[in-house]
Amino acid sequence: MLSAPSAMAADTFNGSVKGVITDTSDVATSGATITLKHKGKNITRTVTTNADGSYTLRKLPVGEYTMTITKEGFDTIQKSDLEVTVGGAIIYNGVLLAEGNTDADIERISVTGSRISRVDLESSTGGIVVTAGDLAKMPVESGFEAMALLAPGTTGNTAFGGASIGGSSSAENGYYLNGINITTIKTGIGSIDLPWEAISQTEIKTGGIDPEFGGALGGIVNAISKSGSNEFEFGAYGRIDPEATRSHHDNLLNSDGSVYSNSAQDESTFTRASIWASGAIVEDSLFFYALYAPQENDYRAAHSTTLDDGSTTSDRYFGKLDWYINDEHSIEFTTIGFTKKGKGTSYKNNWETQEVGESTGTYASRSGGDVYGLKYTGLLTDDLSVEVIAGRTVDKTYNAVENSDPLVWSQMTGSWKIISSHTDSTVRESEFIRDQFRFDFNWTLDNHDIKFGLDYTHIDVDYQARPNGVPGREGWWDVGYAWDGHVSGIPAGTPYVKQRIRTDFSDSEVTSTALYIQDTWNVTDQLVLNLGLRYADVSNTVPDGRKYVDVKGQIAPRLQAIYDVFGDGATKVYATYGRYYQPVSANMNIVQGGARRDVHDYYLIGDTDANGEVILLPDGSPSTGDHVSTYIAQDGTTEPALKATSNLESMYNDEITLGFEQELMDGDMVLGMRAIYRDLGRSIEDTDYEGVATKYFEANGITPADGATPGYVLANPGEDFEMKYDFDGDGTIDTMFIPASELGLPPAERQYGALETTLSGIAGDSFTYNASYTWSHGWGNTEGLVKTDNGQADPGWTTSYDYADLMDHGNGDLPNDKRHAFKLNGFYNITEDLTFGFNAIIASGSPINKLGMHPEGVDSCEAGSVWEDCYSRYYGHTSFYDENGNPAPRGSAGTTDWTQELDLSLAYNIELGGGDLMLKATVYNVFDSDTQTGVNQTRTRDGANGIELNPDWGRTTSRLGARYVSFEARYAF
């Protein structure tokens, strides 16, 4: 029986090879020499087997290798196509045949005994690895989100364009390239826009994640770029998605016949080009890879009264230098540019006749930046290695507003719609700079492989924003009907105009420092334990540098147990437990920790036209009558003690998984099953405590000084409220303490349970496939950092928990709960040159809510409650009540339709002129399905006679994207 390979921790940003060498009698063979040579770079790594026949080669650059196994007195084993992938280990177990042995049976054992094991016995991290070669053969859109959707347990979210992994929100994943954190800095939703031609391999981690990764409750996307080799290579790539082959869904109409989505007039032609060169500056030592990848999208985006005719261009670049000082030491330098520019002209438009009128002005935008990264890898001894990573990401948004018209919404003639001709609702400038440093060690000691390190991140936030408009008439304007108690001095059913002016400023920091350790321990030949722990401190500051979030002691155990059932490396069972923490986002430094002033002014309506619609003035703002009142939602204070509770603790999630994997068909197929349970243990949310604090002060005889009453405060929902501040201005710090039992805020709940079944492998030499079925259920009262219910992409600063009344009856099926998902993807080699690719997803729909106005005097708004003022009514129809004021629990109004997506591709590869030419055509959404993916969930609305049933409830708001065809060509020589 084969012995287990020596214990080895996963090689996070590189590849590794390990295994056991035996003779034909299954006796461990020590002293055998294992030599790996990288096919492109000619880098050679050599190791000899230990007394138990095991060997380990770590910190290997990804790519193809040749392997040679030699020992005096035995025939040489050679394998010429060993592909090393990121994050995991290639397990190659070799059987040496004595020289001169010609026994046919022994020869058969030699041939079949030496093989790659497809079951990793030392890791139970869930997920997949996608290579550039895979993507070239399959119909998969560029982007990490599209790659993530290939993995079981991931779902798409049309509200934010990101992937939900394991029931988490789209803002709770982490993205890395060559060890550099490339997650979007401001919101954490997705990654920066990369030149995708440069990506070599992508690992999607969906659970059981090792402790070197933190700051994410969902999943980790870990990618490695392409790099140069000894062979000089030049190439070009082109892609076009022409308008002529693009379908368009019919318009979506409101119940009154007005247009909700004017998709029939939309047009788009997308083009992308790449040119690259790579090779050796110094043969076998210094390599380069350089890529320039511009892309452009020419479009016409139609709305109800306007049409935008413009283009978005991205001038992206990528560069990589690899210096292999020798076989044991190397330095990598990575640089990325991801600048994006937009420009266009807006026109008046009639959606019914599709007549485009005169220009209303031009618009422009510019955003993006650069990434720089440096990585040192050193093999100090056979048992000790080190890796150091330093990186900087700069992401800017430039002020490029060309039209001063403000945003105006109106409900005067039916459904809410935009009636302004604005091009930009907000004027903003920003710069986010993220610096990171990692220091990792690996030390092998007998049956232990110990991995430990430091992970440090620092973010500078520089941001300012204001609503568009001329001075005095700037703002975000709403024109509608007041409801009972809405605005003092305006009776219910009376038309009103609201001018909202929200200004933001932040010059602040986010800092995270973490230490981690993991011991991969071969307890026996069949049992491996991964015992890991991560410790982190995090902080966020206000503009003057003082900390409003300062959380220390995030202790996150990460534990795995893997058992080789039969001792042959073909079947494993495993169990994992992990705790994962989520930091307070950089966006929170703007919306909560920044100098935000948010003022709402209410007016009677001014002049209207013959249809009853408000008239817009020459400056673009609506006509207004008498000023009625002013409400200051946020006053611009930056006092840290009033921004967050003094007993604030971190947001975290616990995960437990149980599973097994088994090789079938002599290793050509792997069957896996995994059960997952995730539980949100604690959340951080902003809540408006002004009314609660006022009641507390009255009950305790405190007269607060001006500006000393807290408003929106970061706290842990469902836990005791503690705030330390000199509320009465007497020079002594006071402590406001309200126990959770009196506060009445429910604890944050988000639970996720799933059963995943996977089947993957190769049938013959031509058919490669990955299939999965996932049953999952996500339930609770919070989606997480963002909120699909209202499309709010402010991580941690959504309307959830703003008031206790908003959470009444909020428990139920969560937005990312898609109960069933079937996935099948892969490719079939029709001939050596022609490949047919496929990608199919069938999934059940998402839960639907009935959102209405919270009735007064009931539930959290009942008399005597600290929330009796029922401030949630100022948010409008956002509570879980129907048109009759009865409770309508979250997700209880059914689900959206099942979706069926099928993408197909055909790729043709030939040699031409001394180079390799690839021609590929891909059809996305082959059957042009327009299945709904989101619906209007607002059950009631305000009418002239008060609250009424919203006839647009349940109307489709988003659909599968219409069919389009992509044509690609790649030539490399």
pLDDT at 2 over 50: no
pLDDT at 362 over 50: yes
21 contacts 47 by C-beta, under 8 angstroms: no
Domain boundary among 97, 117, 137: 117
Question: What value does the mean pLDDT take over residues 282-304?
Answer: 96
Helix (H) or strand (E) holding 324: strand 306-326
Domain membership of residue 470 (yes or no) is yes
101 confidence band (pLDDT: 50, 70, 90): low
13 contacts 88 by C-beta, under 8 angstroms: no
Domain membership of residue 476 (yes or no) is yes
Domain boundary among 117, 143, 165: 117
- Percentage of the chain modeled with pLDDT above 90: 80
Helix (H) or strand (E) holding 661: strand 651-664
Count of beta carbons in the 10 Å neighbourhood of residue 670 = 18
Question: What value does the mean pLDDT take over residues 611-618?
Answer: 95
Taking Cα atoms as reference points, which of 901, 16, 785, 157 lies closest to residue 148? 157
CA dihedral 350, 356, 360, 365 (to 10 degrees): 100
Helix (H, G, I), strand (E, B) or coil at 697: helix
Point out which residues pair with 578 in neighbouring strands: 558, 655
pLDDT at 106 over 50: no
Query: For position 111, what pLDDT does the model report?
Result: 38
357 confidence band (pLDDT: 50, 70, 90): very high
What is the distance of C-alpha 789 from the center of its chain? Answer: 18
Rounded mean pLDDT of the chain? 93
Query: For position 361, what pLDDT does the model report?
Result: 82
Residue 586 and residue 459: Cα distance in Å, rounded?
A: 8
- 480-500 pLDDT, tens digit per residue, is 998 777 787 888 889 999 999
Q: Give the 3-state secondary structure of 112-153.
A: HHCEEECCCCCCCCEEEEEEHHHHHHCCCCCCHHHHHCCCCC
- 877-896 pLDDT, tens digit per residue, is 999 999 999 999 999 999 99
Domain boundary among 87, 117, 147: 117
- Percentage of the chain modeled with pLDDT above 70: 97
- 422-467 pLDDT, tens digit per residue, is 878 999 999 999 999 999 999 999 889 999 999 999 999 999 999 9
Taking Cα atoms as reference points, which of 299, 263, 268, 417 lies closest to residue 959? 263
Domain membership of residue 810 (yes or no) is yes
Domain membership of residue 900 (yes or no) is yes
- 50-93 pLDDT, tens digit per residue, is 888 989 898 899 999 999 999 988 989 888 888 898 887 888 88
pLDDT at 102 over 80: no
Domain membership of residue 135 (yes or no) is no
Domain membership of residue 136 (yes or no) is no
108 confidence band (pLDDT: 50, 70, 90): very low
Question: What value does the mean pLDDT take over residues 498-506?
Answer: 96
**Which CATH number is 952's domain given?**
2.40.170.20
Greatest CA span in the chain, whole angstroms? 104
In degrees and rounded to multiples of 5, residue 107 shows phi and psi of -60, -40
Question: What value does the mean pLDDT take over residues 87-104?
Answer: 75
In degrees and rounded to multiples of 5, residue 810 shows phi and psi of -90, 5
Quickly list H helices, 659-723.
690-699
942 confidence band (pLDDT: 50, 70, 90): confident
Among 102-116, 494-508, 597-611, 807-821, which is the least confidently predicted range? 102-116
Retrieve residue 943's tokens. 């009418």
Domain that holds residue 99: 15-117
Residue 576 and residue 125: Cα distance in Å, rounded?
A: 9
**Which CATH number is 113's domain given?**
2.60.40.1120
Taken in order 725, 728, 734, 738, the sign of the CA dihedral is negative
Retrieve residue 519's tokens. 């011991």
pLDDT at 611 over 80: yes
State how many domains the chain has: 2
CA distances from 207 to 165, 340, 529, 655, 659 (A): 9, 33, 16, 8, 12
Point out which residues pair with 70 in neighbouring strands: 33
- 737-790 pLDDT, tens digit per residue, is 999 999 999 999 999 999 999 999 999 889 999 999 999 999 999 999 999 988
Domain membership of residue 576 (yes or no) is yes
Q: What is the DSSP string of 459-481?
A: EEEEEEEEE-SSTTT-SEEEEEE
Residue 940 and residue 374: Cα distance in Å, rounded?
A: 55
Helix (H, G, I), strand (E, B) or coil at 533: strand
Residue 128 and residue 125: Cα distance in Å, rounded?
A: 9
What is the distance of C-alpha 7 from the center of its chain? Answer: 32
pTM of the shown model = 0.92
- In one-letter notation, the amino acid at residue 158 is T
- 517-543 pLDDT, tens digit per residue, is 999 999 998 999 999 999 999 999 999
Residue 151 and residue 140: Cα distance in Å, rounded?
A: 12
pLDDT at 9 over 70: no
Query: For position 486, what pLDDT does the model report?
Result: 75
Domain membership of residue 36 (yes or no) is yes
